[in-house]
Homo-oligomer: A and B are copies of this chain.
Amino acid sequence: MKGYYNNLALLTDLYEFTMAACYYHHQMFAPATFSLFIREYPPHRGYFVSAGLEEVLNLLESFHFAQDDLDYLASLKLFSEDFLHYLSNLRFTGDVFAIPEGRIFFKEEPVLEITAPIIEAQLVETFVMNAINLQVTIATKAARCVYAAKGRKLVDFSLRRTQGIDAGLKVARASYIAGFIGTSNVLAGKLYNIPVFGTMAHSFVTSFEREIDAFRAFAEMFPENTVLLIDTYDTIIGAHKAAIVGKEMAAAGKKLKGVRLDSGDLVRLSKEVRAVLDEAELQEVSIFASGGLDEYKIAHLLEQGAEIDAFGVGTKMGVSADAPYTDLAYKLVQYDGRPVLKLSTGKRTLVGEKQVFRIEKEGRLKQDIIALRDETLDGEPILKQVMKNGKRIKPSEDLKVIRERFKEEFAKLDERYKRLKAPEHFPVQISPGLQKLQNQVIFKVREKELGES
């Protein structure tokens, strides 16, 4: 992989550099504030889970251009030597406010605001968006799966079909935040200290002369951790073979942990397999299901009475198949003390540096208010300062702390906002102060740019 991931300053759109060059030559070094928010809910979403901040802070702290980056930029013959020299010394020196990872947020709320000299704030746009968009998308999708599973355990199985390597790692992380118990992804386990799970594939079964030979070989090797995949040839016949091996293990003082179903009618098969296992006095052997699962399918299976104790959730969660991106925007809201916005059709931006106040009542989330940062309102201000002058204010958070934070807050969100289909929209208001400034700026921009008066 040639180590190109070690330096990501070039991981950006070319226009960030052409704009930066203009700012540089016009001596525009004043502070700019950019606001990162999601304009609209994807289908069937009514909340988002904050995730990805840790990566953003890592990237901001290490932001710099290496000599070969500058050589490449020079080769484009677009930029002056002065500007390239300026870039060679550039570091990120700004401030960052953000909604902590694991917290819930809603559309139009700034999940992150960056204030920095405009060139810095502009150049980091693309990777900030990329990091937050992916992890929010996946954490939100995973939260929906956790909600659907009603307390049953979920494991991330998506690595083989995530959109690339980076996504594979971030999906393991984001789904763990949302309540998955772990992942099949070994590298993610190592990097993020997430529990790893997995036992066997169909290839293992077919590589042996007979299915039962494969089962016995595995049980002998991993007597504490055997989940037998029983659908390679026929699920019910496979269940009977698993029962034989389960009884052999019991006779030797060991315990078969589970069986896995990966195809077919999981409602019917899980009930029949349960009966086969119970008949063999293997009541404690769990039934694990996988194969094309997502929140909709999990909910359906449980409604139909499927006898499934845990789910391996793969591709559809790992790419958030029904909503593979969010309508995330990173917009300039203030430059050199002047609040700004664009008027483009259907794309509202809220001006100025902001704060979100969250109001709880009797342990339930009641309402959010998007306000100007210097307003003082009821409720908890949920944007926290996380970086000052380019340095983190606090050390990285433990993933388990983030996971616990999500669990706690999600429990406070009413069911009607969490429904898998057509959820209600949580009430989010604009503060009078923000609304007033917004109106003033729109009026002024219309006057100045559209010639209205």
Contact = CB atoms under 8 A, between A and B. Distances in A.
A1 B12 contact: no
A309 B331 CA distance: 27
A129 to B, nearest CB: 4
A126 B26 CA distance: 50
B332 A206 contact: yes
A330 B202 CA distance: 10
Contacts of A85: none
A237 interface: yes
Interface string A423-453: 0000000000000000000000110111100
Contacts of A150: none
Contact of A204 (B19, B69, B78): B19
B342 A12 contact: no
Contacts of A234: 343, 449-450
Q: Which of under 10, 10 to 19, 20 to 34, or 35 or more describes the interface residues of A?
A: 35 or more
A218 B21 CA distance: 9
A101 interface: no
Contacts of A320: 324
Contact of A118 (B13, B207, B342): B207
A341 interface: yes
B232 A342 contact: yes
Contact of A191 (B4, B22, B449): B4
A325 interface: yes
Interface stretch (A104-112, A181-189, A249-257, A376-384): A181-189
Contacts of A302: none
A159 B343 contact: no
A204 B25 CA distance: 14
Contacts of A346: 263-264
Contacts of A185: 11-13
A311 interface: no
Given A202-B332, A210-B448, A335-B207, A130 B32 contact: no
A411 to B, nearest CB: 29
Contact of A160 (B133, B157, B211): B133
A159 B184 CA distance: 27
Contact of A221 (B8, B25, B137, B332): B25
A394 interface: no
A166 interface: yes
A324 B314 CA distance: 13
A422 interface: no
B161 A163 contact: no
B13 A207 contact: no
Interface stretch (A193-201, A274-282, A353-361): A193-201
A197 B76 CA distance: 10
Contacts of A211: 449
Interface string A74-107: 0010100000000000000000000000000000
B225 A78 contact: yes
Given A165-B127, A198-B18, A186 B332 contact: no
Nearest to A328: B161
Chain B CB within 10 Å, residue with most, of A12, A164, A169, A191: A164
Contacts of A126: 159-160
A317 to B, nearest CB: 11
Interface of A: 1-6, 8, 10-19, 21-23, 25-26, 28, 32, 34, 58-59, 62, 69, 72-73, 76, 78, 118, 122, 125-127, 129-130, 133-134, 137, 157, 159-170, 184-187, 189-191, 196-207, 210-211, 217-218, 221-222, 225, 231-234, 237, 262-264, 315, 319-321, 324-326, 328, 330-332, 335, 340-347, 445-446, 448-451
